[in-house]
Structure 1
């Protein structure tokens, strides 16, 4: 059973409620009139956004003629969706969209990621993260640095445990050579990558400069996949001035294809580790 999160549970609850509404032959407007809310509220619930009370869920279950077993499952999802997660305590420094991404990542089954300049966040050492945030992240107050470092370290918990996140990661050679924090920090970071590569849930491969142009060249991205068949893949993009969750199925399919095309060009896992170790000797 894959780890989950309030964001994942709210998403699945919304999808299931929309399916039940459609099976009942009702529009969102008709549903809203029946339970005394706005059409916008019904649509937002189905999109996994607002919290849902037990009474409101009971109204929907009665309206859609949902059976007792299904009601128990939906109530369990509702309770889970209303839980507080670790990222909620960082609401003052992270946008709502970034917090949603934390929830998606926390409940994902696997991630396929490409990185062109910086080491993948979940693979960063604490010292690397601190140097990056303190010296390279715009509009960050000095008083926020440590809290942001703590948040990134909390995200790393998905790499271990009884149900670790499955990760396939492509790192451009530039991520290994970009000096973040100085010699000692980079040496420790490269050693950390080699250590992580030994974990069975992690596949790490390098795209050397000698490869030249490849399909993913440019901005980094991550494709997140989930255990539930109801939840489709999504893409996360994060660049200097903006972040975005891409959920259009056609757009996501393009990213998946691009990732697999790029993956075929990368060094093998063994070659990648040797490549990282050779760069480590140069540091």
Structure 2
């Protein structure tokens, strides 16, 4: 996970910085130059250039222009786009986020920071109700069931943090969420029947808001593209900010930030949505399952 150490300050996303650094790296390589040449042009160390190209440090406007000059890039639209990326990244690094008061989110701090500034998200969930739609009791049952907490006292702050994330759905700049959930996730008795009945009720309520679109892939859909596993696609308004694909694997969190990866997962999501029930039918199914509870 990239970002500053939470113990030293505010951890924020460097997704734009990695995009910017990657473009500068490609420009340098096309010219056949080494990092030492870039370092000399900036009167900086090779180590600093390496950090810039990995998106680990903010990049100043004069450095952007100096590197573009070195790499032979004179097109103002291209330079202007790089400057916008750099300025947006610098502003984001200085922003204070509500998530910093929750140490329990340390493993997800970059994802939550991205989520906080995203304009929209598409998420496919195979086994769980999406985190942004979970009730407190459901989130608590998931945390307890995971069995990975060394200190049980950390579970409640984790639940509070999860609820704080949901504020984006009803904020002045609401996150647009398109969630597709497998029927199995709705029938799994997480926390027991009472917890699930409340959770399904909340899904019905949220799905009737303007910012949430909810679909369900039923068991009857059979084999489908979603069987590869859950993932989320996070989208942003900033110029040059590509969609970011996020998924959790047993040993780590995986980020896919290339244009090809984002497009590929976008196509997969579309295919999953096509085999899912239309929203009205999805809500009917959720209501039927809720009555069974």
Normalised by the length of structure 2, the TM-score is 0.79
Q: How far apart, CA to CA, are the structure 2 residues paired with 1:254 and 1:137?
A: 34
Counterpart of 2:39? 32
Match of 2:66 in 1: 63
- 1:117-165 Cα deviation digits (max 9, x unpaired): 1100100011110111022242442021112112211211211112111
Distance 2:212 2:87 in 1: 35
Cα distance 1:143–1:222, how it changes in 2: closer, same or farther (>3 A)?
same
Instruction: Provide the C-alpha distance between the structure 1 equivalents of 2:217 and 2:195, rounded to a whole number of angstroms.
Output: 22
Residues 208 and 76 (structure 1), Cα distance of their counterparts in 2 relative to 1, 3 Å cut: closer
1:54-133 to 2 correspondence within 5 Å?
Answer: 57=60, 60=63, 63=66, 77-91=89-103, 94-95=106-107, 98-133=108-143
Q: Which residue of 2 aligns with 1:42?
A: 49
Question: Equivalents in 2 of 1:72, 1:241: separation in Å?
Answer: 36
Change (3 A) 1:76 1:203: closer
Structure 2 SS opposite 1:94: helix
1:19 and 1:267 mapped to 2: Cα distance? 41
How far residue 15 of structure 1 moved from its aligned partner, in angstroms, is 4.6
Q: Would you say the 8 A contact 1:6–1:82 is kept in 2?
A: no
Matches of 1:101 and 1:13, distance apart in 2: 15
Contact 2:180–2:276, Cα closer than 8 Å, also in 1: yes
Equivalent residue, structure 1, for 2:5 = none
Structure 1 segment 139-218 matched on structure 2, within 5 A: 139-218=149-228
Q: Do the aligned residues in 1 keep the contact of 2:126 with 2:230 (CA within 8 Å)?
A: yes
- The total of aligned residue pairs comes to 270
Structure 1 unaligned runs (5+)? Answer: none
Secondary structure, aligned partner of 1:264: helix
| 1:211-248 Cα deviation digits (max 9, x unpaired) | 11111114211111211240111111114443211223
Q: Structure 2 vs 1, CA of residues 151 and 137 (structure 1 numbering), >3 Å: closer, same or farther?
A: farther
2:264 pairs with one of 245, 254, 269:
254
d(CA) in 1 for partners of 2:225 and 2:87?
Answer: 44
Aligned CA RMSD, in angstroms, stands at 3.1
Kept in 1, the 8 Å contact 2:11–2:109? The answer is: no
Q: Distance in 2 between matches of 1:230 and 1:72?
A: 10
Q: Residue 21 of structure 2 contacts residue 54 of structure 2 at CA under 8 Å; is this kept in 1? A: no
Equivalent in the alignment of 1:222: 232
What's the counterpart of residue 16 of structure 2? 12
Q: 1:47 to 1:164 in 2, by over 3 A?
A: farther
Secondary structure, counterpart of 2:226 in structure 1: coil
2:43, 2:289 → 1: CA distance?
64
Residue ranges of structure 2 left out of the alignment (5+ in a row) = 1-9
Deviation at 1:75, TM superposition (A): 5.4
| 1:92 shift after superposition | 6.4
